[in-house]
Amino acid sequence: MTHLAHQRILVSAIVSVVVFSLSLPALNAAPPTAQEKKVDQSLVRALRYLSTEQQTNGAWQISSSRDSTAATSLAVMSFMAAGHVPGEGPYGRQLERGIDWVISKQKPNGMLVFEQGHGPMYSHGISTLMLAEVAGMVGKKQGKPVRRALEKAIRLILDAQNVRKNGRDSGGWRYNPTSTDSDLSVTGWQLLALRAAKNIGCDVPADSIDNAVAYVKRLSVSGNNGFGYQSANGATPTRTGTGIVCLEICGEHHSPEALGAADFLLAKPLHFNTSYFYYGVYYCSVGMFKVGGRYWESTRDHLVPILLDNQSADGSWTGRSSDAGHGPVYCTSMSVLALAVEYRYLPIYQR
């Protein structure tokens, strides 16, 4: 038996045990709250909706009916965040087809992008993160193609980081692999991808993580009062959530910058009419979950009702947010990833 096959069996067994144990009343365990039951039901409806939106070629679409590697990768991670595994269960084959489609769109330079968008590094970072998260869960047939695609994708991210930049922007990423400046939004996805890949044994130099962390810390607003999009920008809830995630996943747990940003989010929480709500609800949920304690409890109690109240009858999310134009698959996937954070099935969610 190969190492990959053994790893997949182990992961599947762990998921099965966890799912089974959740179905039994643990000794001295509190029964699920009414809100927890609503979250479970909400996720079932959301995944049912996403399953109907997959195209015959295996892709999911973004905005105006365009196949998208980013939307497909977010959809795949949504199913996995709720405990589903490629090749198994009711959605197993759909996940395999989605993964295959993303890999088939990789360009010779390693770029994982199909759609024309604001900047290819967004889609590339999201899709690379997805491949790193599924690498230990796919079967033998997909294992080698996933690993090859992941290693090429990681190489592109590392090369893009090493493009000559000024001291202010060094260590980060921007829209294109040749960009000479950086921003927190694009950097967040690349850093998530690198950390996930490093966690499964990919060759990611420690200096790359350290340089990215240094860049993120430079975006901390004076007095550790949240994070801005670029240097000298003011803090917003969405960007602050992104900065927290970047630091927390890189071992900067409860750093002054992260805790200051968490305090900022308690004072200025995300709302449904906030710009880029769906982007923000993902990062704020993951970030505050990783900070933990009262920060997570307050964020959960604030954001979960907003998501539950704004889910459509068919299980999807849309809305008035400035990023809702990306389409219901995107909005629904980001909402699922936020709601499922406490399940801890995705490795990147682990504390």
> Taking 90 as the threshold, does the pLDDT of residue 12 lie above it?
no
Greater model confidence, 17 or 151: 151
Q: What is the arithmetic mean of pLDDT over 234-250? A: 97
Q: What is the pLDDT of residue 30?
A: 80
Alpha carbons 300 and 308: distance in angstroms, whole number: 12
Please check whether residue 241 is in contact with residue 207, taking contact to mean a CB–CB distance below 8 angstroms: no
Please report where in the chains the tokens 């134009």 appear, as a residue. Answer: 325
Q: Max alpha carbon distance in the chain (Å)?
A: 58
pLDDT band at 21 (very low <50, low <70, confident <90, very high): very low
Please report where in the chains the tokens 């099965």 appear, as a residue. Answer: 16
Q: What is the pLDDT of residue 2?
A: 42
Average pLDDT, whole number, for the chain? 92
Listed residue (214, 215, 195) closest to 205, CA to CA: 195
H helices within the chain, ranges in order? 3-22, 34-53, 69-81, 92-104, 120-134, 140-161, 184-199, 206-218, 237-249, 256-267, 277-291, 293-309, 328-339
pLDDT in tens, 323-346: 999 999 999 999 999 999 999 999
CB atoms within 10 A of CB 143: 20
Please check whether residue 138 is in contact with residue 150, taking contact to mean a CB–CB distance below 8 angstroms: no
pLDDT in tens, 283-323: 999 999 999 999 999 999 999 999 999 999 999 999 878 99
Greater model confidence, 17 or 111: 111
In the chain, the domains with their CATH numbers are: 1-13+53-198 (1.50.10.20), 219-344 (no CATH)
Please check whether residue 229 is in contact with residue 185, taking contact to mean a CB–CB distance below 8 angstroms: yes
Listed residue (95, 113, 93) closest to 104, CA to CA: 113
Please check whether residue 295 is in contact with residue 266, taking contact to mean a CB–CB distance below 8 angstroms: yes
pLDDT in tens, 132-182: 999 999 999 999 999 999 999 999 999 999 999 999 999 999 999 999 999
Listed residue (111, 94, 107, 106) closest to 59, CA to CA: 94
Please check whether residue 238 is in contact with residue 273, taking contact to mean a CB–CB distance below 8 angstroms: no
Q: What is the pLDDT of residue 4?
A: 40
Q: What is the pLDDT of residue 28?
A: 59
This prediction has a pTM of: 0.91
Neighbouring-strand partners of residue 227: 220
Instruction: For residue 81, give every residue at least 6 positions away whose Cβ sits within 8 Å of its Cβ, in sequence order, or none.
Output: 336, 337, 340, 341, 343, 345, 346, 349
CB atoms within 10 A of CB 178: 9
Alpha carbons 202 and 172: distance in angstroms, whole number: 20
> Taking 90 as the threshold, does the pLDDT of residue 251 lie above it?
yes
Alpha carbons 339 and 342: distance in angstroms, whole number: 7
Alpha carbons 307 and 322: distance in angstroms, whole number: 16
